[in-house]
Chains A and B, each alone.
Chain A
Amino acid sequence: MDLVVEGVCQRYGALDVLRDVDLRIASGEIVVVLGPSGCGKSTLLRILGGLERPASGRVLLAGAPPPGCLNPLTYVFQDFALAPWRSAAGNVALPLEHLPMSAAERAERVGEALMRVNLAEFADAWPRQLSGGMKQRAAIARALVVSPAILLMDEPLSALDAQTRELLLDDLLRLWRETRFTAVYVTHNLAEAVRLGHRVVVLSRRPGQVRDIVVIDTPLDERRDGHPALIEASARLWSLIRDEAAIADRELVDDA
């Protein structure tokens, strides 16, 4: 299933946040959206998944979701969005509970999803007992349990420390090898962008516009630190965003 974005604009009152965003996300592809903070990345992602209406433009789905898919457009949030009153397993079960499904099948799916993120032994732990990395892995398990067609990931690693981020990045790459999921991956982190992105969409600072799209041909499996193609892509991306980032850094945050 493909996701097509046509001329999406968004504004909040007098604040222009997104301007004329056109994109097509193809099945099996990870599209990274890179841009300085405040440029409208989260806004774009909310619009992509139907959590927010754009001021103009539209978002379309092309093709049928794969068989067995329970929630085609599925989010992974920066702050994990785990219900603190539910155990890890309870959080993973939440998106299944309103679906017609036997308790046994639900338990089996939840167990399998937790296994895939190496969290099986923490199924009964409360979120407050989990480390940041484990919380995000629980949230990823919750996304996987509905067999999504397209994952919408909003800076999923930004709340984690550098080492945990590295580990989770490896986990995401392994999961992609196993399932070839489609994803829109929002980040402001260059390293994540070149490790995960088949294509990197560079947004300008607010109002967010597509400045450029950098295609990285190197297969995800072959991407290592220091790979020449990645260094080149990084340099290219940095030259695209550094001026924007410098200006964005000097803006007042709440001039909205």
Chain B
Amino acid sequence: MTPDGALRPVPFRGGGFAPRRLRFAAPLAFLAVLALWQAATSLGWIGPLALPRPGEVVAALVDMAASGELWRHLAASLQRFAVGWALGAALGVAVGFAIGLSSLARSAALPLVSALFPIPKIALLPLFIIWFGIGEASKYATIAFGVFAPMAIAAFGGVDGVDRGLIRMAQSFGVPARDIVAKIVLPGAAPALLSGARISASIGIILLTAAEMIGAQHGVGALVLAAGNLMQTDRLIAGVLLLSALGLAIAALIGLAERRLLRWR
């Protein structure tokens, strides 16, 4: 103990547990990875068959862009993703709302959706090819099916989480049921729908790539597979980078939608 009357500062015990974003860190991390890659390939730590140099990947991308091949693959993939995701999301939201709003749907459809959820949807592609042929329809169906279950579950959870007090409030003003769904339930479930969109989009990209690897002429998945078969690692890595860009672009779009639709939060 210090003698009575001696002053000493109160020891500081707070702080921490609040990570911030440091602006310089992200570009540095990317540069570090690139530098490591460059060093590993040019110093011969990794053989040219296993991993191309960064410059070769860029050259492959530029080549494909110039020949138009890049856009053909991208367009095919984007279209499949957009159609498949939109179909699955629309169906999922409709079923999720039904489960969230009606006792019958909850009792009948929720166990079904829960049973569908864990199936790796790519396992159904062969069946869809038998049903719809090797063309686009079987790919749409696979992606849509994969998007459906997580979207339905997100929508159902969102509807379930809507403040019942707000629904009673609307009823107390005589607002008709369909208006309550449109004006209270839908906006109340919007945050859950958007996070469902994020999850289902990443599932959609996985299925898109897998479906394109199994049976497609064009598409980023087909590009990656073909490059692999020919040991063209530069084109292979270029395709993987395209997939990363595709995923980031979709996530950015959803982020934009979140900022616009959830301004009230």
Q: Which residues of A contact B (CB under 8 A)?
A: 46, 49, 51, 71, 73-75, 77, 79, 81, 83-86, 94-95, 97-98, 126-128, 142, 146
**Chain A interface mostly:** loop
- Residue in contact with A83 in the complex, picked from B166, B171, B174, B176, CB distance below 8 Å: B166
| Distance in Å: Cβ of B184 to nearest Cβ of chain A | 7
Tally inter-chain residue pairs, CB-CB below 8 A.
54
Answer yes or no: B264 CB below 8 A from chain A CBs.
Answer: yes
Instruction: Point out the residues of chain B lying under 8 angstroms from A81, CB to CB.
Output: 163, 165-166, 168-169
Answer yes or no: B30 CB below 8 A from chain A CBs.
Answer: no
B171: nearest chain-A partner, CB-CB: A51
Answer yes or no: B179 CB below 8 A from chain A CBs.
Answer: yes
Instruction: Point out the residues of chain A lying under 8 angstroms from B179, CB to CB.
Output: 97-98
Structural contact, B165 and A79, CB atoms closer than 8 A: yes
Binary A-proximity of B167-198 (CB < 8 A = 1, otherwise 0): 01111111110010001100110100000000
Jot down 11 A-B pairs with beta carbons below 8 A, ordered by A.
Answer: A46-B168, A71-B172, A74-B172, A77-B169, A79-B165, A83-B184, A85-B264, A86-B264, A95-B175, A126-B264, A142-B173
Answer yes or no: B8 CB below 8 A from chain A CBs.
Answer: no
Within 8 A of A (CB), among B241-265: 263-265
| Distance in Å: Cβ of B174 to nearest Cβ of chain A | 6
- Residue in contact with B183 in the complex, picked from A77, A94, A128, A146, CB distance below 8 Å: A94
A98 to B183, CA, bound (A): 11
B174: nearest chain-A partner, CB-CB: A71
Instruction: Point out the residues of chain B lying under 8 angstroms from A75, CB to CB.
Output: 169, 172
Structural contact, A85 and B173, CB atoms closer than 8 A: no
Structural contact, B265 and A51, CB atoms closer than 8 A: no
